[in-house]
Amino acid sequence: MSKGVLLFLVIVLAMANLAILHYGRDESAVSPVVAAAATPAPVVQSAASPSRDSTSGSPAPTRAPASVPASPTMNVAPAAASIASNDGELTIPVQGVTPAQLRDTFSEARSQGRVHEALDIMAPRGTPVLAVADGTVEKLFTSVPGGLTIYQFEPSGRYAYYYAHLDRYADGLSEKQSIRRGDVIGYVGSTGNADPSAPHLHFAIFELGPERQWWKGTALNPYPVFTRPQ
């Protein structure tokens, strides 16, 4: 055999060995640089680009910054609670009603964009309404929204208690009359703009200004006063 043929065979065998070595390697031995290049980089979404909903393709809603808006209940609860601590616990103004039966209606919306600013205490028509504390009957008043109402001042004159939608007053009740906590001063009804099918007492607490005007004051939430732990 000629030297040229032998040289050719040696070259062919060498190339075959190199091929076997290359394709027989485990895939995990691939160079880290090559592996990194083969793996697509994760997409980083900028804050300016909203994400997309995977089902609809529309921009996903963004989460608003967490915030706790001030509410009337949050603002007035400490002030209302101080009434009880200074003047003794207030009596729930509807006979037979327990704290567990009350519902906080102070911040509820009412007609014409108003906020309720009072507690509605549901009870059968004719249920006795009780004075929440000692004080004086400042005004007996009939209004279009409130119907038959009572404004009571507590002894210092700083707070007024307002009872509305009464069916009638207690016999003999009069303005400037002194009353004691727990006295019957009226009866639950649905006068004024109350629903005739849902008699209840509309009860409110007002912090009065220095003028001590019964028709004008800052509403305080009664609910925390009646439901706080004893």
- pLDDT of the residue at 63: 29
Confidence (pLDDT) at 22:
43
Supply the pLDDT for residue 44. 32
Amino acid at 48: A
Closest residue by Cα to residue 120 from 148, 159, 162 = 162
Look at residues 52, 194, 67, 185 and name the one whose alpha carbon lies nearest to residue 131: 185
The confidence score (pLDDT) of residue 5 equals: 58
Q: What is the pLDDT of residue 202?
A: 94
Which of the residues in the chain have pLDDT under 70? Answer: 1-88, 107, 109-113, 116, 230
**pLDDT computed for residue 13 by the predictor:** 62
Residue 21 has what pLDDT?
Answer: 42
pLDDT at position 15 is: 63
Domain boundaries of the chain, sorted by first residue: 75-227
Cα separation, 1 vs 8, in Å, equals 12
In the block, residue with structure tokens 């209606």: 105
Q: What is the pLDDT of residue 104?
A: 87
Dihedral sign for Cα 228, 167, 126, 139, please. positive
CATH architecture of the domain covering 75-227: Distorted Sandwich (2.70)
Give Cβ neighbours of residue 174 (< 8 Å, ≥ 6 apart). 137, 140
Mean pLDDT, the chain, rounded, equals 72
Please provide residue 214's backbone torsions phi and psi, each rounded to the nearest 5 degrees. -65, -25
